[in-house]
Amino acid sequence: MRYLIAANWKMNKTVSESIDYVEKFREMVKDVEGIDIMIAPSFTALASVSPLLEKTSINLGAQNMFYIERGAYTGEISPIMLNELNVKYVIIGHSERRHIFGEKDDLINKKILAAVEYGLRPILCVGETLEERELGKTMNVVERQIKLGVAGLEREIGLIDIAYEPVWAIGTGVNATVEQAQEVHLFIRNLINDISKGNDSDTRILYGGSVNEKNAGELIKAKNVEGFLVGTASLDPHKFYKIILETLEV
């Protein structure tokens, strides 16, 4: 299984800043092999970044999408719009979408199903809040989010990747320990293996939550950690490149 190292820029970088980043970064990774790389810029930068990634090993991702092809849905982006821009991955159910914008599991499931239908590879984000962890509900939360998120896709779960992102670690500078990550990732692997009746070998389980160039080397050694979804550290091409190098050293 090839590791996936994915960058989620969130609401950062203008179009010109995104172009500058990609022009630098693609030179850094031009000789990198054996690993999948994805960058998810803002929607405004997708059209400008897409041609810059042609004939490179870097895949283009989107940070979100709606589940309907077209219609009166002001402000939304459809899967066919992403397809036209050569987007390969789409992040679905990020905790900021869940907790700031109120997205529920049923909406996230519709997006997952639509992404697969239109040939996009979704990265389903799951994870617990600090309160839920302290109450011992981590596994219950993760199980619910995964089961509801992949409903209708159980036997085809290999068409998606899953990112475990403890909410208490996102953007806080406090990452899960290797032991914490390993425990939840093992739980997820066993869960999706059971859900899919063993058809989960193509699903990578990523860790996200204050991943940086300093802790990536240790976190990637945890069993069933098969890549990263990187936020803040991915905004600097040199730091993001260092995370990729740390992963390749495993």
Annotated catalytic residue, options 96, 103, 128, 165:
165
- Which residues, in sequence order, are CB contacts of 26 under 8 Å at separation 6+? 52, 53, 56, 58
- CA–CA gap between residue 66 and residue 12 (Å, rounded): 21
Annotated catalytic residue, options 94, 128, 185, 213:
94
Supply 123's token pair. Answer: 């990265």
Supply 113's token pair. Answer: 């199903």
Whether the CB-CB separation of 247 and 215 falls below 8 Å is answered with no
- CA–CA gap between residue 16 and residue 21 (Å, rounded): 9
Identify whether 154 is a catalytic site residue: no
Region for residue 208 given its phi and psi (left: phi exceeds 0; alpha: psi -120 to 50; beta: otherwise): beta
Closest CA to 208 of 241, 250, 248, 172: 172
Identify whether 165 is a catalytic site residue: yes
- The residues annotated with a catalytic role in the active site are 94, 165
